[in-house]
Amino acid sequence: MERENDRIRRAAALTMIALLLSIGLVGLFPVSAQPELSDWRHIWIPMTNGARHGVNDEYYFKLDGGGLNAMHITDDPINDYDGAVYHGGDSGTFWVSDTGGRGFNDDIIILASVLGTPGPTFNLKVNSSGYTWPLTYNAAVPAENTLVYNVGQNGTSGINGSFNTGNYLADEDDVDIAQIWRPSTVQNYPIYYGQNMNDPSQEFNLIFIDLKGGNIGTNSSSVSYSANLIDRGSARVDYTVEGLGDAKLAFNTYGWCNWSNQQKGVSWTNSLTASPQSGWDINFA
């Protein structure tokens, strides 16, 4: 009987040791962490409102080098194509311009990134306006007579939609993704100007929105007609945000092209590091 009691006491002691070790190990190595995007490029990303030219409502973010000097966010598409870093309010308007030699993007995507916890009434309203055209091949610039200007149609071209925390990008287990960087041609790329990329508290939730329209550039010799276009061919974004509270929000933009020297996919985004820098944020100033 005493031998049996010793065996029971030893087993209980071993169980307690294992439990204490497991508690300590959990403290050192968390069982699970907030999911992130699988990589900074060469990934498929779903659009929260569907992808006009994508596959299964996703676009391929190729981002193979370059791609940081052509796309810009500006508050004046007529006189300031390169834009700047803007600190916006709860409502405003910005344009997505292009000064690259290619001359156009078939589709514009904006990334709305939220830092912190907004209020329960958080709602981001986005209305986009701009040009659409039949897809071209061999990197051919769209012919002017094929362009159609659309204003927030919430359909195949232009959007007029509302987005909230339910539109946060999530993983396959429906857990919201949170991270300090965004997809770019450069690894570990910031979400807002001046961001400390070594600060782990800078974790944003991401909303990828397809504007369902493109833009025509101003700097390509092959685009001789851009001066004739509304906003010189830039894509317009009107937004209103409600219930943001103390949370912060940053806008960035991406360009998808059907056929270019970079091949099909998303290969361009606005620069927050090298000049010319441009971006749009709220509550950061």
Q: Which of 114, 163, 136 is nearest to 223 (CA)?
A: 136
The pTM of the full predicted model, rounded to 2 decimals, is: 0.87
Separation CA 73–CA 84 (nearest Å)? 7
Q: What is the pLDDT of residue 19?
A: 43
The amino acid sitting at 244 is L
End-to-end CA distance of the chain: 75
- Pair of tokens at residue 134: 């039949």
Does the pLDDT at position 1 exceed 70?
no
Does the pLDDT at position 25 exceed 70?
no
Q: Which residues, 6 or more positions from 204, have their beta carbon under 8 angstroms from its beta carbon?
A: 113, 114, 115, 178, 179, 180, 182, 191, 250
Tell me the pLDDT band of 26, cut-offs 50, 70 and 90: very low
Q: What is the pLDDT of residue 43?
A: 98
- DSSP 3-state assignment of 12? helix
- The string of pLDDT tens digits covering residues 234-284 is 999 999 999 999 999 999 999 999 998 888 999 999 999 999 999 999 999
SS3 content of the chain, % helix, strand, coil (to 5): 15, 35, 50
- The string of pLDDT tens digits covering residues 204-245 is 999 999 999 999 998 766 678 999 999 999 999 999 999 999
Q: What is the pLDDT of residue 248?
A: 98
Mean pLDDT of 119-125: 97
Instruction: Report strand pairing: 215-216 vs 248-257.
Output: unpaired
Separation CA 165–CA 24 (nearest Å)? 34
Using the Cα atoms of residue 103, residue 109, residue 115 and residue 120 in order, give the sign of their dihedral: positive
Mean pLDDT of 72-89: 97
Lowest mean pLDDT among 6-20, 182-196, 234-248: 6-20
